[in-house]
Amino acid sequence: MTKIIVKNSGSLIGTVCCSGSKNSALPILSATILTNGITSLSNIPRLSDIDNMLLILEGLGAKISQNRDKVRVDFNECKGYVTPYEPMSKFRGSFLLAAPLLSRMGKARISMPGGCPIGNRPIDLHLKGFAALGAAIENGHGYVDLSCKRLKGAKVYLDFPSVGATENLIMAGTLAQGETIIENAACEPEIVDLANFLNQQGAKISGMGSDTIKILGVDSLTPTEYSIISDRIEAGTFMSAFAITNGKGIIKNVNPMHLKPVTAKLTEMGAKITEKKNSLIIDATSSLSAASIKTLPFPGFPTDMQAQFSSLMCEAEGTGIIVETVFENRFLHIGELNRMGADIRIDGRSSVIEGPKKLSGAKVTAYDLRGGAALVLAGLCAAGETEIDGVKHIQRGYEHLCDKLHSAGADIFLE
Ligand code: UD1
C-alpha cells in the first residue's frame, strides 16, 4: 500500500504552482452533459476524483480525450441515465450528475452518496430543490430516481447555503422552462466558475457570488472552450506549508481574491503576505501566534482549510481555538496529530490547540482528504520521520503533492 514519507525539512523556500480546482472541475465536467457537442476544458487537475467523474461520463456515452490539463468531452450522444455504484461511491461530488442527467434525459438514477467520514452529508436540500422544479423523486435500493418532462423554473430557498445543492440547482435551472431563483445560495468561487462556464455556453445566470442567483432557462447550450479557476484550497495548503516551517515562497497560478479569509488569518498569526495578480508571496520567517477560527460558508474561513490550520496552530505561540460549523465530524486528524505530540482537546464542534509543541514523527493515518494534508504539514516540521497511511484520500485532491513540496525543499516522497 502506498505511503507518504515526510521528514523534518527545515524552512521551505521556493516556488510552487497550483493546479486547477477539483471542486470547480467536478461540477463543470458534470455540466458538459447539458451540451450537445464538444466541450474543451483546460486547467483540469489529474486526480482520482476527476478520473472517476470521467469514467462515469464515458459510461453515459461521452467520448473523452485527455492531454495534460486539457479534457475534451464529446457529448453528442447521451446514452444512459443510470450512474454506477462503484465510481459514484468514491466521491461525494458524484451527486452533481443528478441535475444535468435529469435535465437532458428526463430521468436520472443516481447512486445514493451514502455516509462520509467527516459527517452525515444528506442530500435533502438538492432533492427539495429538484421537487420545487417539478421533478418526481423516488428512493430505493440505494438509488434516487428522478424524473420530469421539462423542469419548470421556481423559487428555492436553501436552509443552508450548500455548495453542491446550489450547483445542482444552477444546472437544473439552466435548461428549465422559465425563471429559477435560488435564495440563500452558496457564494463560493466554484459556484461563480460554474455559472461563468454555463453563461459562456449561452445560459442566462446572474447573481452568482451573491446569496441570490437567478437563472432564466434557455432551450439549448452551445459548446465552447473554458479554462477553470485554480485550486484555492491547494494554494491555502501551500501557504500553510511555508508557514508551518517558518519558510517563505511564491505560490503561482492562484487568485488571491479567493484566499482572502486564509490570508487574513495567516496575517493575523504573523505571516507577511503580498498579493499579486495571479500569485501570492508568503514570508513566515517570524514566529507565529495562535488565533481563533470559525469555519463558515464563503467568504468565511473555509472548512476545507480547518485541518491544515489545526497543524499550523500546533507550532504557533498560545492557545488556538477552531470552531467547525460546516461539518459535524471533521476532527479525524486530531487524534493523529496528538500521536505526534500535539496538545489538542476536542469539545463538541470546537478544538482547543495549545502551542507551540515539539511534534515528533510517527506512523499516522489519513482518514480524509484535508486531514491527510494536515498530517503532511505536521510531518514537515516534526522531528524525524512521519509515515502517512491512507494516501488515497490525499490523492483525491492534491496533484503531485510530494513533487510540488519537494521543489520548495521538502524531504517528502511516496513509497
Ligand atoms: C463542497 C465541497 C467540499 C467542501 C464543502 C463545504 C465539492 C465537490 N466539495 O461539498 O470540499 O468542504 O462544499 O465548503 O465541491 N447539507 C445538508 N443537506 C444537503 C446538502 C448539504 O444538510 O442537501 C449540509 C452538509 O451536511 C454540510 C453542509 O450542508 O453540513 C455543507 O455541505 P455542502 O456545502 O453541500 O458541501 P458539498 O457540496 O458536499
pLDDT digits (tens, 9 = 90+) for 240-296: 999 999 999 999 999 999 999 999 999 999 999 999 999 999 999 999 999 999 999
* Residue closest by Cα to atom 4 of ligand 1: 304
Catalogue the active-site residues: 116
204 lines ligand 1 (CB under 6 A): no
In which band, very low, low, confident or very high, does the pLDDT at 118 lie, cut at 50, 70 and 90? confident
Q: What is the mean pLDDT of residues 388-410?
A: 96
Q: Give distance in angstroms: CA of 306 to centre of ligand 1.
A: 15
Which residues have CB under 8 Å from 199's CB, separation 6+?
A: 205
Best of 29, 326, 328, 396 for a ligand 1 pocket test (most atoms within 8 Å of beta carbon): 326
All three cell numbers of 349: 464542534
Q: Is the four-CA dihedral 160, 164, 170, 174 of positive or negative sign? A: negative
Q: What is the number of residues in the chain? A: 415
Q: In what order do the strands lie in the sheet with 4-7?
A: 363-365, 385-389, 4-7, 411-414
Q: What is the pTM of this model?
A: 0.97
Counting ligand 1 atoms within 8 A of each CB, the residue from 110, 162, 187, 190 with the most, and so the one to mutate, is: 162
The pLDDT of residue 328 is above 90:
no
Q: Residue 301: CB within 6 Å of ligand 1?
A: no
* Residue 304: band (very low, low, confident or very high) from pLDDT cuts 50, 70, 90: very high
User: Which of 194, 154, 179, 245 is CA-nearest to residue 24?
Assistant: 194
Q: Separation of 83 CA from ligand 1 center, angstroms?
A: 20
Cβ of 299 less than 6 Å from ligand 1: no
C-alpha distances in Å from residue 133, one per residue of 36, 159, 163, 223, 267: 22, 17, 18, 25, 44
